[in-house]
Amino acid sequence: MPPSKNLTITAYFDGRPGHEKQTKALIRALGRLTPVNTTEVRLTGAPPADHHRPPRGAGDGKGAAADLLIGSGRRTHLPLLLAKLRSRGRSRAICCMNPNILLRGLFDLCLVPAHDGVRAGANIFPTDGPPCLTTDQGRHETNHSLLLIGGLDPKSHFWDQTQVLHQAQTLLDQRPDQHWTISSSPRTPPATVAELAELAATRERVQFWPAPATPPGWIEEQYDRHREVWVTADSISMVYEALSAGCRVGIMPVKWRRQQNKFQRGLDLLRQRGQIIYLAERLAGKKFPPAVAPLVEAERCAKEILGRWWPERLS
Question: What domains can you pick out in the chain, each with its CATH number?
Answer: 7-132+297-314 (3.40.50.2000), 141-283 (3.40.50.2000)
Q: What pLDDT is stored for residue 206 in this prediction?
A: 97
Between CA 127 and CA 299 the distance in angstroms is: 11
β-strands 109-113, 255-256 pairing: unpaired
Between CA 110 and CA 102 the distance in angstroms is: 13
Q: Which of 10-19, 47-56, 136-145 has the lowest mean pLDDT?
A: 47-56
- Sheet with 248-252, strands from edge to edge, namely 206-209, 179-183, 141-148, 226-232, 248-252, 276-278
Q: What pLDDT is stored for residue 45 in this prediction?
A: 58
Split at pLDDT 50, 70, 90, the class of 143 is very high
| 51 has pLDDT over 60 | no
Between CA 24 and CA 133 the distance in angstroms is: 7
- Average pLDDT estimate for 214-235: 96
Closest listed residue to residue 82, CA positions, set 125, 49, 114? 49
- Average pLDDT estimate for 303-315: 96
| 31 has pLDDT over 50 | yes
Q: What is the pLDDT of residues 150-202, one digit of tens each?
A: 999 999 999 999 999 999 999 999 999 999 999 999 999 999 999 999 999 99
- Average pLDDT estimate for 144-151: 97
Q: What pLDDT is stored for residue 57 in this prediction?
A: 40
Q: What is the pLDDT of residues 278-308, one digit of tens each?
A: 999 999 999 988 778 999 999 999 999 999 9
